[in-house]
């Protein structure tokens, strides 16, 4: 039986073999194949890594022979001998996993040095210090990484040597010192492990390969994979490569570069280098690297070579590359190439340019920009340099991206007052609907409590406003007008700066820069729309929201929350009168005052969204949210309403709920107070009629929230139809409308087949569905979320990214059962997840018709929808 | 094609044909068949009723011929003619549905009377007044029921006749007056309907049959079926039967009787009768009926006949019967027989007696007692007669059965104080864990808010204590020490009486009677256990609970709530010290004080439950439940704990939650405070070790609450195993234990396959599962439940009876997925539903291993489990 191929000499593999050869190995082969100057070497496959573990950390049969074979080939190619005392071949041994895990696994350099070959190296380089320093470093690295000797011991020996010589820096040690250190190190190893540092290069190599495989499962590698959601069963490859040295004199050097500018996307070579240096020196920061353009002057030949390679790589990889190179005595070597990371602006620019330059097609261009990135393009950013020097007060959750600076205020009224002349940041323990006005005028919002989907977070994202939520270290003393954080005290009027994209809170002012939206943006988004299949609507409660959404390309409104219309100052009084009404008649009287207001709201939104569907949700929050809770406020508002304090207080108390999330809200309100529904539905349909007469095309969809049983829908739908019929008859005008439900209660998913017999559309309210499926209150969740993330129980905040495994199963059930009962059931999602790329992909996968998200997430959702469609198509093709 | 048989002459049918002939018709045929004296007649089938609706309220073809045929037969049998002017046959037309719907549908008596036959009736009875009164009643009934003339109009005519004659009672009107009334009535009909009262008996009959069918869908019949959960598509049969008259003189009479005593079950004929009267007179209550035993003196022959019939009926039906009879001129006729309703005590007595008497086998006996009824046997009852005269204050929810009287108190401390010398009733707006001591000493609990599974209700049922919850009309002014209800004011110290079985609240004292548990009880329950398949455990938190449960036949503890152990006065301080601890160390110090207390609790419970499994749930409620909330209490307790007011207040505030139900509780506590779990698990296992050494067999099952993700189980189970291993090693003693989870979060059902890879048992917590599946907070649910019931959206309180359609589907999914992953997974339920018969049946159906319920529901659950097993077996057989 032919043995399996475990080892690939560079050039035997290709870039598509990433899974087998790891990213680094596959690209080293690929570069070799296309004729780039890569130091020779070979890759031991990831399969060997897995076998190594299966066999109890032993090598599979035949591996050593294959390594020996490739080593021979390497010696031949290089014209050097491994362990040769005249012309010794030195190699590096590096890990190379399928996905890059920078710094997580082990590397061994200068392997092949021993007491004899070190002399040859000195002879060859004419540099005794270089030779002994290389050997010293190798012994230390080998002892630490391969032989598992405590790292500190080598550091102590080094320190004691420096103390003895009375010097401060390693570089001040002489060749002789370093030679002595090698001996010290060898003793340390012998003492710690009871065996000698191996002089035989083949033994060194064998042990190093085992160490690299072993490092696949070291603690930090495992936790890196957990954090980045990477599988644990891929294994790592090992690359054994001939060493090249960039520190062999003024005709040597080393550098890293991007084939285009990773910050702006400009089609210009971009990078840094150092003459007479090794990779470590660039990282150490002891010398300042030069800009790559300088190389043209210093080493024109090598620079030209690099520019050719840059072109070759882009033509070959058809994407911007991130490369490492070394020049040894005037000869250029490529050590690595990989796809380069880039900013949102750069990603967009590169994608569009590469289509224009014929490198890629439009579909590929669409996949080259990550949906999340688009967010960066829309929000103000903190000036990066200024941020570095600023005083960080604390870190909360990055609840709504962007940057904001302003003077601290602690209540909505003050915010409204001060915002007329100053930028303000509204700081609250947590926000409530009564804070809306203050939030609207503030530059940014900071809360001490609440998660990514707390009231503050949701409203801020809806407004496209910067917000840092759940900064748990902060203690807000609203009455005393200051907050405390980690020992600092910030008073009303003090300046703070928020970074909503990172959750950072800074003391003082940090300059803010405007986002730059390139001219290519529109072009790119038109390509996006060519590929996406699922519709994208917006959650919008005001005509302004609707306009913003439309500008970002929304195809309708998926969620118009009618309650937000009642919080405005002139309306809340009528709303409160309605709530404190003692009889149906009184309530109807109060509602009659609200009817024209709601009607006007709807008309304005319908006008903006002409010819597009607008889903209007009936009143959802519990009524107590509209009433004051503190005694002082109760007293004041009782006065306004012409009530006694005791009367209003009694109403407030009678409406109090232990768990408002699971209380008297949603369709339960319409069922106990049919007159509220009557008013709202009448406003919707009267607005429809009036605009239809003016020539608008209105497509209202009435949405019943918090449904758990088909009978709830039946009772309310009957009432809605009756109202519609009445208006049609009276106006002698037919109009189309739909009646549907939110699916946000687990029971609604389970009984979706029944509900769909009445509902004409479903809209998954995944905020509440996640709350109820997990039993997590999003208002209280922040108390244990950190522990859950830390202990690996939750990998992500399920309110930010849809939990496919649990909540997703309920959604899938709902979609399948719903469509079974009503084939043409229109299905969408209107929770916060509608703007999250992974969640949009899930919605596409389960066959929803559309997602609906906050206006500022529409672009993200459109791109995510296109990605999902392309991904599905590709998977069908391959 | 032969036409379908639409009409069955009495004797052609049999009792098994209830579905076709209705209950009344089937039993009339059956009685005829076994030779009992039943007035002849025939039944028009329920099928005709359904056809009648299908055909748009018309009769199916061939029906009239079949009626005519049967009418002929009836005339022949009776030797009378329908409409015959000498010897007229009079009939009754009565509805008869499959399920009894007393008073809901229409009845027509004396049909066949007209201007001519009335004379023959007078001639025959020699009683002119009787003749005209019968005719007058018939015209009125026919006009009202069949011709749909407004009922009032007849009443007005009658009243005006009485006014004219200046008399007060109908009975004072003469034959001549009644004759005049007949004419007045006929005019009323003519005026109202434009047609004459039909003189033709055949037309009378046809119209009456149509009216009875029509009454199947009258408003009150529909709502009766809705309330009693009866299907709407069964239709009613119509019984046409020769009239017999009990009011033909002193040798006539009428009565109702039970073949055994329906209150006690005593094997003795039981009933009432009136001489010279019709059924109506018994109901009207103008004359007081005689006890049936009197009949032996008055009509010894008929009495003997009745006794024979009683024996025959019981031998035939093999159950206690409820019969109606009429004696016409010395001849006994049976008009109805049906299974008699009975009290719990009677059901038990009859079931056991009938086995002894050879009427039925044990299995049948088991099915003869409704599980719900057993509850009656265990609780004190209000004296029925005294109750009738008492002043009803209001009605709340029958939260925990039994009766209680005492002086009103408004807080737990006062309850504890006063209960030493007086019976007290604790009245609260709603209860919280701080009220536990007061609840324990009170005779009963009354709350203004909360549903059947509110804190008060659950705790009261757990204690087997009377409770009326959610009496929404009550306004409790705890500070002013009184409550108001419907205009009455009840002060501290006033007496009230509660009926927890009905929810009634009375002013003053009503005598209470002890339950009588017959000697047959034990015998009966042993039969029950022979049939039941599913285990029955109890939810018990104290050694006393455990003892009660054991006495009632519990086979283990399915839920031991450890938090209840911390509310007792001497312990709550240590608990609070733990909560306010500022560091892990401080917390561990406080926990160390709790450890020996918990250990002792567990030891006592383990001792009681020797050799039976005891499932102990780790700490579940949010920590703020252990802290005071009112400022005064905070001040006091801060003092006790040696804290400043501000410090404790800050802790209280920081623990405050918007939705505690979905907050930081359950396993989330153990994850953020592993030291709490450590203490509890250590207490469990140290108790296990100590008792094992003493020779007890301890079977601890550690239950992790509120699990939503397998990783929660993994993290905690690892910790539990580590603790167990440590103790085993230290003590050098092996013990068995299980680690499992509560399944109460919808996501746990959906991902049960994953969870079962770690959990060794599942216990469905259907209280929380119902809350989260519906999105109903059981504390706030009372606000809209009444509307939901009234509008037919909910038929039952889903917290009392498991919602099979929604919550049930989640449970089924959980069971199936769980067993798929772990074949021998032990599965039970520990929500309130574990004691509800319909829910127990569901648990049996989905294949659970056991149910666990409050100790006082163990008997109910055992019987329900037997019923479920028998039902399943029967369905397999037939």
Are A355 and A267 spatial neighbours (Cβ–Cβ below 8 Å)?
no
Nearest to B836 by CA among B371, B464, B469: B371
CB proximity list for B614: less than 8 A, separation 6 or greater: B556, B557, B560, B605, B606, B698, B699, B700, B701
What's the pLDDT score for residue B2? Answer: 57
- B708 interaction partners in chain A (CB closer than 8 Å): 773-776, 806
- Nearest-angstrom CA–CA distance, B256 and B326: 9
Question: CA of A832: how far to CAs of A304, A538, A549, B82, in Å?
Answer: 51, 11, 15, 77
Say yes or no for a CB contact (<8 Å) between B662 and A810: no
| CA of B775 vs chain A CAs: smallest distance (Å) | 5
Say yes or no for a CB contact (<8 Å) between A784 and B809: no
Counting other chains too, the contacts that A1-4 makes at CB distance below 8 Å and 24 or more residues apart are: A3/A61, A3/A62, A3/A66, A4/A47, A4/A60, A4/A62
Which pLDDT band holds residue B280 (cuts at 50, 70, 90)? low
Which pLDDT band holds residue A752 (cuts at 50, 70, 90)? very high
Question: CA of B715: how far to CAs of A138, A790, B677, B705, B796, in Å?
Answer: 41, 12, 12, 13, 39
| Both tokens assigned to B349 | 């007595």
- CA B704 to the chain's CA centroid: 33
Task: Tell me, yes or no, if A713 comes closer than 8 A to chain B by beta carbon.
Answer: no
Residue of B nearest to A448 (CA): B654
b/e A376-397 (16+ beta carbons within 10 angstroms → b): bbbbbbbeeebbeebeebbebb
What's the pLDDT score for residue B287? Answer: 67
* Active centre residues of A (catalytic): 455, 830
CB proximity list for A464: less than 8 A, separation 6 or greater: A378, A379, A400, A402, A548, A854, A855, A856
Number of other residues whose CB lies within 10 A of the CB of residue A816: 14
What's the pLDDT score for residue A272? Answer: 86
- Nearest-angstrom CA–CA distance, B100 and B8: 20
Are A132 and A182 spatial neighbours (Cβ–Cβ below 8 Å)?
yes
What's the pLDDT score for residue A1? Answer: 46
Helix, coil or strand: residue A781: helix
* Active centre residues of B (catalytic): 455, 830
Higher pLDDT, A130 or A38: A38
| CA of A805 vs chain B CAs: smallest distance (Å) | 7
Measured on CA atoms in the order B667, B671, B674, B678, is the torsion positive or negative? positive
Say yes or no for a CB contact (<8 Å) between A773 and B671: no
pLDDT tens-digit readout, B708-755 = 999 999 999 999 999 999 999 999 999 999 999 999 999 999 999 999
Say yes or no for a CB contact (<8 Å) between B805 and A751: yes
- B807 interaction partners in chain A (CB closer than 8 Å): 747
Task: Tell me, yes or no, if B433 comes closer than 8 A to chain A by beta carbon.
Answer: no
What's the pLDDT score for residue B878? Answer: 47
Are A659 and B777 spatial neighbours (Cβ–Cβ below 8 Å)?
yes
Q: What is the 3-state secondary structure (H, E, C) of B464-478?
A: CCEEEECCCCEEEEC
CA atoms within a 13 Å half-sphere pointing along the CA-CB vector of B860 = 26
* Chain A interface disruption, residue of B620, B767, B780, most A CBs within 10 A: B780
∠ CA(A322), CA(A324), CA(A327), 5° rounding?
145
Higher pLDDT, A433 or A200: A200
Say yes or no for a CB contact (<8 Å) between A661 and B660: no
pLDDT tens-digit readout, A775-817 = 999 888 888 988 898 888 998 889 989 999 999 999 999 999 9
| Both tokens assigned to B594 | 């709790």
**What's the mean per-residue pLDDT of chain B?**
91
Q: Which of B666, B777, B791 lies closest to A657 in CB terms?
A: B777
pLDDT tens-digit readout, B590-620 = 999 999 999 999 999 999 999 999 999 999 9
Q: Which of B672, B746, B754 lies closest to A772 in CB terms?
A: B746
Terminal CA-to-CA distance of chain B, rounded, Å?
Answer: 32
pLDDT tens-digit readout, B525-574 = 999 999 999 999 999 999 999 999 999 999 999 999 998 778 777 788 88
- pLDDT for A720 beyond 90: yes
- Directed axis angle between helix A858-877 and helix A837-845, to 10°? 50
Task: Tell me, yes or no, if A47 comes closer than 8 A to chain B by beta carbon.
Answer: no
Are B615 and B555 spatial neighbours (Cβ–Cβ below 8 Å)?
no
Task: Tell me, yes or no, if A792 comes closer than 8 A to chain B by beta carbon.
Answer: yes
Task: Look at A818-822, B226-230, B833-837 and tell me which has the smallest mean pLDDT.
Answer: B226-230
Task: Tell me, yes or no, if B712 comes closer than 8 A to chain A by beta carbon.
Answer: yes
* Chain B interface disruption, residue of A226, A450, A455, A750, most B CBs within 10 A: A750
∠ CA(B775), CA(B776), CA(B781), 5° rounding?
160
Which pLDDT band holds residue A462 (cuts at 50, 70, 90)? low
Nearest to B39 by CA among B239, B196, B220, B187: B239
What's the pLDDT score for residue A281? Answer: 65
- B668 interaction partners in chain A (CB closer than 8 Å): 784, 788
Are A496 and A406 spatial neighbours (Cβ–Cβ below 8 Å)?
yes
Say yes or no for a CB contact (<8 Å) between B747 and A660: no
- Nearest-angstrom CA–CA distance, B347 and B365: 9
- Nearest-angstrom CA–CA distance, A401 and A498: 10
* Chain B interface disruption, residue of A623, A753, A780, A805, most B CBs within 10 A: A780
- CA A496 to the chain's CA centroid: 25
Residues 743-782 of A with CB under 8 A from B: 744-747, 750-751, 754, 768, 771-777, 779-780
- A776 interaction partners in chain B (CB closer than 8 Å): 662, 708
pLDDT tens-digit readout, B766-800 = 999 999 999 999 888 888 988 898 888 998 889 98
What's the pLDDT score for residue A386? Answer: 85
Task: Tell me, yes or no, if B467 comes closer than 8 A to chain A by beta carbon.
Answer: no
- Nearest-angstrom CA–CA distance, B695 and A48: 56
Nearest to A537 by CA among A206, A870, A853, A212: A853
pLDDT tens-digit readout, B561-587 = 998 778 777 788 888 989 998 888 888
- B792 interaction partners in chain A (CB closer than 8 Å): 711
pLDDT tens-digit readout, B87-140 = 999 999 999 999 877 767 788 999 999 999 999 999 988 889 999 999 999 999
Number of other residues whose CB lies within 10 A of the CB of residue A342: 26
pLDDT tens-digit readout, A501-531 = 889 999 999 988 876 666 788 899 999 999 9
∠ CA(A790), CA(A793), CA(A796), 5° rounding?
80
A565-594 mean pLDDT = 86
What's the pLDDT score for residue A665? Answer: 95
Interface A-B, measured as beta-carbon pairs within 8 A, has a size of 171
- CA B61 to the chain's CA centroid: 43
Number of other residues whose CB lies within 10 A of the CB of residue B696: 17
Higher pLDDT, A74 or B577: A74
What's the pLDDT score for residue A712? Answer: 97
Portion of chain B with pLDDT greater than 70, in percent: 97
Starting from the edge strand earliest in sequence, which strands make up the sheet with B474-477, in order?
A: B474-477, B482-485, B488-491
Portion of chain B with pLDDT greater than 90, in percent: 68
Higher pLDDT, B376 or A90: A90
Which pLDDT band holds residue B1 (cuts at 50, 70, 90)? very low
Measured on CA atoms in the order B805, B807, B810, B811, is the torsion positive or negative? negative
Nearest to A393 by CA among A502, A512, A499, A485: A485
- pLDDT for B358 beyond 90: yes
Residues 803-862 of A with CB under 8 A from B: 803, 805-807, 809-810
pLDDT tens-digit readout, B360-411 = 999 999 999 999 888 777 777 888 888 888 899 999 888 887 899 999 999 9
Helix, coil or strand: residue A266: coil
- pLDDT for A627 beyond 50: yes
Number of other residues whose CB lies within 10 A of the CB of residue B630: 9
Q: What are phi and psi of B25, to 5 degrees?
A: -60, -45
Task: Look at B205-209, B230-234, B738-742 and tell me which has the smallest mean pLDDT.
Answer: B230-234
What's the pLDDT score for residue B281? Answer: 65
What's the pLDDT score for residue A283? Answer: 53
B456-478 mean pLDDT = 84
- CA A569 to the chain's CA centroid: 37
A268-272 mean pLDDT = 90
- Nearest-angstrom CA–CA distance, A121 and A123: 5
| CA of B798 vs chain A CAs: smallest distance (Å) | 12
Are B559 and B852 spatial neighbours (Cβ–Cβ below 8 Å)?
yes
What's the pLDDT score for residue A373? Answer: 81
| Both tokens assigned to A489 | 């005290």
Q: Which of A711, A775, A793 lies closest to B662 in CB terms?
A: A775
Which pLDDT band holds residue B42 (cuts at 50, 70, 90)? very high
Task: Tell me, yes or no, if A350 comes closer than 8 A to chain B by beta carbon.
Answer: no
Question: CA of B742: how far to CAs of B562, B667, B708, B722, in Å?
Answer: 14, 10, 9, 21
List the beta bridge partners of residue A96.
A237
Helix, coil or strand: residue B696: coil
Are A650 and A643 spatial neighbours (Cβ–Cβ below 8 Å)?
no
Task: Look at A668-677, B468-477, B524-533, B862-871 and tell me which has the smallest mean pLDDT.
Answer: B468-477
Task: Tell me, yes or no, if B472 comes closer than 8 A to chain A by beta carbon.
Answer: no
Helix (H) / strand (E) containing A289: none
Say yes or no for a CB contact (<8 Å) between B711 and A658: no
Task: Tell me, yes or no, if B670 comes closer than 8 A to chain A by beta carbon.
Answer: no
């Amino acid at each position: 039986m032919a043995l399996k191929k475990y080892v690939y000499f560079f050039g035997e593999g290709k870039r598509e073999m990433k899974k087998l050869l790891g990213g680094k190995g596959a690209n080293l082969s690929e570069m070799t194949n296309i004729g780039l100057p890569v130091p020779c070497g070979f890759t031991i496959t990831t399969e060997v890594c897995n076998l190594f573990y299966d066999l109890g950390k032993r090598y599979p049969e035949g591996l050593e022979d294959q390594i020996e074979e490739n080593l021979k080939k390497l010696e031949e190619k290089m014209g050097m001998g491994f362990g040769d005392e005249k012309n010794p071949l030195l190699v590096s041994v590096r890990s190379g996993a399928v996905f890059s895990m920078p710094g997580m696994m082990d590397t061994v350099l200068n392997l092949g040095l021993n007491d004899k070959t070190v002399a040859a190296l000195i002879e060859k380089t004419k540099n005794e210090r270089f030779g002994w320093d290389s050997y010293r470093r190798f012994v230390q690295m080998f002892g630490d990484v391969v032989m598992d000797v405590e790292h500190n011991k080598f550091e102590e020996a080094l320190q004691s040597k420096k103390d003895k010589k009375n010097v401060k820096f390693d570089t001040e040690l002489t060749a002789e010192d370093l030679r002595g250190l090698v001996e010290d190190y060898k003793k340390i190893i012998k003492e710690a492990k009871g065996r000698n540092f191996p002089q035989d290069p083949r033994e060194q190599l064998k042990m190093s390969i085992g160490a690299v495989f072993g490092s696949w499962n070291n603690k930090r590698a495992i936790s890196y994979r957990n954090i980045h959601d990477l599988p644990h069963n891929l294994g790592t490859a090992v690359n054994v490569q001939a060493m090249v040295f960039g520190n062999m004199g003024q005709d040597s050097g080393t550098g890293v570069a991007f084939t285009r500018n990773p910050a702006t996307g400009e089609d210009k070579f971009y990078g840094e280098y150092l003459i007479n240096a090794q990779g470590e020196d660039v990282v150490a920061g002891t010398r300042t690297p030069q800009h790559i353009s300088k190389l043209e002057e210093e080493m024109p030949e090598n620079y030209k070579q690099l520019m050719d390679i840059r072109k070759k790589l882009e033509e070959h990889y058809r994407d911007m590359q991130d490369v490492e190179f070394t020049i040894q005595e005037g000869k250029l070597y490529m050590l690595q190439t990989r796809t380069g990371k880039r900013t949102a602006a750069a990603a967009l620019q590169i994608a569009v340019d590469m289509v224009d330059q014929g490198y890629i097609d439009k579909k590929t261009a669409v996949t080259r920009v990550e949906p999340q990135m688009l967010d960066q393009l829309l929000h103000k950013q903190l000036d990066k340099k200024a941020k570095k020097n600023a005083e960080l007060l604390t870190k909360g959750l990055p609840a709504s991206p962007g940057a904001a600076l302003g003077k601290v205020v602690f209540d909505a009224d003050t915010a409204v007052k001060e915002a007329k002349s100053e930028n303000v940041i509204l700081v609250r323990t947590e926000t409530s609907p009564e804070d809306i006005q203050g939030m609207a005028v503030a530059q940014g919002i900071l809360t001490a409590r609440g998660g990514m989907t707390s009231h503050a977070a949701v409203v801020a994202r809806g407004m496209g406003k910067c917000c840092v939520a759940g900064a748990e270290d902060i203690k807000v003393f609203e009455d005393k007008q200051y907050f405390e954080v980690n020992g600092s005290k910030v008073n009303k009027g003090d300046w703070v700066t928020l970074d909503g994209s990172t959750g950072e809170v800074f003391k003082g002012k940090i300059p803010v820069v405007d986002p730059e939206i390139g001219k290519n943006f529109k072009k790119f988004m038109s390509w996006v729309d060519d590929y996406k299949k699922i519709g994208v609507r917006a959650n919008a409660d005001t005509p302004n929201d609707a306009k913003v959404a439309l500008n970002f390309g929304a195809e309708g409104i998926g969620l118009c929350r009618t309650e937000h219309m009642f919080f405005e100052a002139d309306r809340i009084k009528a709303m409160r009168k309605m709530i404190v009404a003692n009889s149906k008649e009184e309530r109807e009287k109060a509602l009659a005052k609200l009817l024209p207001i709601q009607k006007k709201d709807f008309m304005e939104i319908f006008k903006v969204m002409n010819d597009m569907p607008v889903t209007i949700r009936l009143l959802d929050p519990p009524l107590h949210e509209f009433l004051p809770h503190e005694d002082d406020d109760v007293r004041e508002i009782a006065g306004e309403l012409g009530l006694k304090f005791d009367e209003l207080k009694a109403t407030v108390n009678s409406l109090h709920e232990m768990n408002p999330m699971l209380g008297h809200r949603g369709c339960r309100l319409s069922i106990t107070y049919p007159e509220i529904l009557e008013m709202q539905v009448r406003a919707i349909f009267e607005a429809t009629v009036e605009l239809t007469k003016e020539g608008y095309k209105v497509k209202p969809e009435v949405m019943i929230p918090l449904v758990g049983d088909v009978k709830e829908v039946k009772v309310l739908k009957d009432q809605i139809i009756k109202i519609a019929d009445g208006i049609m008859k009276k106006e002698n005008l037919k109009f189309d409308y739909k009646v549907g439900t939110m699916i946000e209660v687990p029971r609604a998913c389970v009984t979706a087949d029944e509900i769909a017999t009445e509902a004409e559309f479903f809209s998954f309210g995944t905020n509440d569905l996640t709350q109820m499926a997990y039993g997590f209150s999003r208002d209280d969740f922040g108390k244990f979320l950190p522990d859950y993330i830390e202990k690996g129980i939750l990998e992500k905040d399920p309110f930010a990214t849809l939990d496919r495994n649990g909540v997703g199963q309920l959604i899938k059930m709902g979609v399948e059962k719903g469509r079974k009962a009503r084939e043409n059931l229109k299905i969408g999602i209107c929770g916060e997840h509608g703007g999250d790329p992974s969640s949009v992909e899930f919605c596409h996968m389960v066959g929803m018709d559309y997602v609906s998200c906050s206006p500022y997430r529409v672009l993200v959702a459109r791109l995510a929808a296109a990605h999902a469609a392309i991904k599905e198509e590709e998977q069908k093709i391959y």
